[in-house]
Amino acid sequence: MKNLFTTKKAIFAVGIIIGLIAVVLQKMGNPANMGVCVACFARDIAGALGFHRAAVVQYLRPEIIGFVLGSMVAAFAFKEFKPRAGSAPVVRFVLGFFAAVGALVFLGCPWRALLRLAGGDMNAIAGIAGLAGGIWIGILFIKSGYNLGRSQQTYISAGLIMPAVMFGLLILAIVQPQLGTGTVLFSSKDPPGSLHAPLFLSLAAGLVIGVLAQRTRFCTVGAVRDVILVRDFYRMMGVAGLVAGAFIGNLVLGQFNFGMAGQPVAHTDFVWNFSGMVLAGLAFTLAGGCPGRQLFMSGEGDGDAAVFVFGLLAGTAFAHNFGVAASPKGIGEWTPLYVTIGLAACVIIGLTMRKKI
Per DSSP bridges, beta strands 178-179 and 152-153 are unpaired
Q: How far is CA 154 from CA 81, 84, 302, in A?
A: 12, 5, 9
Residue 95 scores a pLDDT above 80: yes
Q: Give the dihedral of Cα atoms 108, 110, 114, 119; nearest 10 deg.
A: -10
Reported as a single tens digit per residue, the pLDDT across 217-266 is: 999 999 999 999 999 999 999 999 999 999 999 999 999 999 999 999 99
Rounded Cα gap, residues 310 and 315, in angstroms: 9
User: How many degrees, rounded to 5, is the angle at CA 78 between CA 84 and CA 82?
Assistant: 5
**Predicted pLDDT at 355:** 84
Three-class secondary structure of residue 103 per DSSP: helix
- Per the DSSP assignment, residues forming a β-bridge with 179 are 182
Segments making up each domain of the chain, as ranges: 3-352
Distant-in-sequence, close-in-space partners of 265: CB < 8 Å, separation ≥ 6 = 31, 32, 33, 34, 40, 107, 108, 192, 328
pLDDT value, residue 124: 98
With CA atoms as reference, report the closest residue to 238 among 1, 14, 4: 14
Q: How far is Cα 118 from Cα 113, in angstroms, rounded to an integer?
A: 9
pLDDT confidence of residue 5:
82
The secondary structure element, H or E, covering residue 101 is helix 89-106
The pLDDT, as a whole number, for residue 35 is: 95
Give the C-alpha separation, 211 to 193, whole Å: 26
5-63: pLDDT as tens digits: 889 999 999 999 999 999 999 999 999 999 999 999 999 999 999 999 999 999 999 99
Which pTM does this prediction carry? 0.95
State how far the alpha carbon of 229 is from the alpha carbons of 135, 136, 282, 287, in Å: 10, 9, 14, 16
Q: What is the pLDDT of residues 302-356, one digit of tens each?
A: 999 999 999 999 999 999 999 999 999 999 999 999 999 999 999 999 999 998 6
- Report DSSP state, residue 180: T
Q: State how far the Cα of 75 lies from the Cα of 192, in Å rounded to an integer.
A: 33
Percent helix, percent strand, percent coil in the chain, to nearest 5: 65, 5, 30
